[in-house]
Structure formats: structure tokens, C-alpha cells
């Protein structure tokens, strides 16, 4: 599904991302962990063609993401509030995003019905623009809009941060069920080791842009990670 090749990016002489070779297969759920400055977000930004790598490339379905747009057809992402059009109401935003994928207003309405539970009555018909919502609720809008695009590849940057516990649990089960039903490939970065080990089947540990560890999760993973980070 994804291939990172000799991907390098540095700012002011400091290497932020340096990934030699990394392959991600369809249906995998990848957890990206690492302290601040490890290069998680920069890596995501290069994957989404928002930052030009100094060298190397990211291939999505064997096509370089920087040279064509096909990846946009099956990739959905939410990194931060910069992805939201914050002067719209959530309904308008969903309609707009849906329209980009040729969903009618009615389609979007149907889709949103499934998420009533996820939204917990906080999002729809509240008479507010997105910018007036709390950060957690903005997150919900962003994640729901990403899922609405029926992606094959989902990229989320710290999705659990700012979410309430109920929604965290719902999000985890959502990702798991989409993986089972649609073979969804997911990339998640998180500081919450519990969630990551719970939902992901493969963990990639970054430090200063380098991949330090790359392994499949088992019952000992959480302990290993905790040991690593408490050093």
C-alpha cells in the first residue's frame, strides 16, 4: 500500500525525518510513537504531499504522491484544525467534503446518521461554526469527515488527544471494525501507549527522525514500550 524510500527532511541542518525503507501493507493498522520532535507529523505531512522531502519519495499504491493526485481518491486524513474549514457549520463542512467525493446532500445526511452515537449530540444542528467548538469536538468533526470519504488509507495525527473517554473507545472500535470489514489501512500517531497497543497491529517507534523499532504487537508490547520511554 505504502512505501517510504530514502525519505529525508531536515530543517536548519537538523534532521527531522530520515526513513531508509519502510513498507506498509494493505489492511495494517500502524501506530507511530515517539517523543515530541521525533518526526511523526512531518512524516505524515510528506505522506500527504504537504511538505516537499529533501530527498526520497513516498509511494502510495506504487505511485509517487508528489507527482500525481490519485492517492487523494482513497486517502483520508486529519492532522490538526488546519484541515477544517472553520467558518463553516459542521453540516456545511460535511456537505462540502461529501461533494468532493460526489456524495449528495442526502447521502451525507444518511452517513451522518450512523455517527449520531459518535457525535453524542454535540456536533449537529448546534447553530455554531466549527471555529466555535471545543478542540475535542473539532477533532470529532475532522475524524468523521475523514471516515465519511470511505478511504482505503486513513491517516490520523494524535486522534485520541482532546477526545473524551467514550469517544476514544468508540473511535478504537470503529477503526478495528473498518479494518475487518473494508481492509482499511490506518496510520495513527499517538502519545497514548495504551490506545496504540490496543488498536494497532504494528508499532513503529521514531526518535529524531529515525526508525528505532518496528514490530508487531503482542501481549508484551505495552511493557516494552513503557520500558523504552522510561529510560
Partner 1 sequence: MLSTFLSHQWKDFWRSRNKAGSIAANLLLGFFMLYFLAIAVGVGFWMTMIIEKTFPGQNVITVFNGFILYYFLFDLAIRTQMQELPTLSIVPYLHLKIKRKTIVNFLNIKSLFSFFNLLPLFVFIPFSIMKIGTTYGALTALMYVLSILSLVVFNNYLVLYLKRKSINNFSYFISIIGVVTVLAALDYYHIISVRDFSNLIFVNVTKYPFLGLIFTLAAVGIFIINSNYLRANLYTEELSTKDDKKTSTDYPFLNRFGKVGELAALELKLILRHKRSRGSVLMGFAFLAYGLIFYKGPMIEKNEFGKLLFAALFMTGIAILTYGQFMFAWQSTHFDGLLVNKIDFKDFIKAKFLLFTISSTIITVLASFYGFMSYKLLLLHAAAYLYNIGFATVIVLYFATMNYKRLDITKSASFNWQGIGATQWILGLPFILIPVFIYMPFGIMNKPFWGLAAIALFGLITLLMRNFWINLLVKKFEKQRYKIAEGFRE
For position 206 contacting partner 1 by CB under 8 A, the verdict is no
Q: 95 vs 139, which CB is nearer to partner 1?
A: 95
Q: Smallest distance, Å, CB 132 to partner 1?
A: 7
**Region 75-114 residues binding partner 1, contact defined as CB under 8 A:** 75, 77, 79-89, 91-92, 95-97, 99-101
CB 34 within 8 A of CB 40: yes
**Region 123-152 residues binding partner 1, contact defined as CB under 8 A:** 127-129, 132, 149
Q: 31 vs 53, which CB is nearer to partner 1?
A: 53
Cα separation, 67 vs 75, in Å, equals 15
For position 72 contacting partner 1 by CB under 8 A, the verdict is yes
Cα separation, 206 vs 122, in Å, equals 35
Q: Smallest distance, Å, CB 138 to partner 1?
A: 12
Helix (H) or strand (E) holding 55: strand 55-60
What's the chain's length in residues? 231
Cα separation, 123 vs 130, in Å, equals 9
Contacts of 60 by beta carbon, 8 Å cutoff, 6+ apart: 1, 2, 47, 70, 71, 75, 153
Q: 95 vs 168, which CB is nearer to partner 1?
A: 95
Tell me, residue by residue from 43 to 62, as one string, x for binding to partner 1 by CB under 8 A and - for no binding. Answer: -----xxxxx----------
Cα separation, 196 vs 19, in Å, equals 21
Which spans of this chain sit near partner 1 (rule: CB under 8 A)?
Answer: 48-52, 69, 72-73, 75, 77, 79-89, 91-92, 95-97, 99-101, 127-129, 132, 149
Amino acid at each position: 500500500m505504502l512505501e517510504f524510500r530514502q525519505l529525508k527532511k531536515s530543517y536548519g541542518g537538523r534532521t527531522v525525518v530520515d526513513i531508509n525503507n519502510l513498507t506498509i501493507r494493505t489492511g495494517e493498522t500502524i501506530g507511530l510513537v515517539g517523543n515530541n520532535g521525533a518526526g511523526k507529523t512531518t512524516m505524515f505531512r510528506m505522506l500527504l504531499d504537504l511538505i516537499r522531502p529533501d530527498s526520497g519519495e513516498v509511494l502510495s499504491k506504487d505511485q509517487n504522491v508528489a507527482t500525481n493526485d490519485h492517492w487523494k481518491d482513497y486517502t483520508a486524513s486529519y492532522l490538526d484544525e488546519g484541515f477544517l474549514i472553520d467558518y463553516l457549520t459542521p453540516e456545511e463542512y460535511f456537505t462540502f467534503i461529501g461533494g468532493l467525493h460526489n456524495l449528495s446532500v442526502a447521502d451525507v445526511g444518511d452517513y451522518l446518521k450512523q455517527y449520531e452515537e459518535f457525535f453524542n449530540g454535540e456536533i449537529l444542528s448546534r447553530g455554531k461554526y466549527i471555529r466555535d467548538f471545543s478542540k475535542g469536538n473539532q477533532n470529532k468533526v475532522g475524524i468523521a469527515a475523514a471516515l465519511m470519504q470511505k478511504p482505503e488509507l486513513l491517516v490520523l495525527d494524535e486522534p485520541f488527544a482532546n477526545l473524551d473517554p467514550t469517544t476514544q473507545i468508540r473511535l478504537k472500535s470503529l477503526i478495528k471494525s473498518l479494518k475487518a470489514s473494508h481492509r482499511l489501512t490506518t496510520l495513527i500517531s499517538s502519545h497514548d501507549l495504551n490506545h496504540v497497543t490496543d488498536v494497532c497491529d504494528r508499532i513503529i517507534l521514531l526518535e529524531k527522525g529515525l526508525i528505532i523499532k518496528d514490530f508487531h504487537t503482542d501481549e508484551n508490547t505495552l511493557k516494552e514500550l513503557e520500558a523504552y520511554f522510561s529510560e
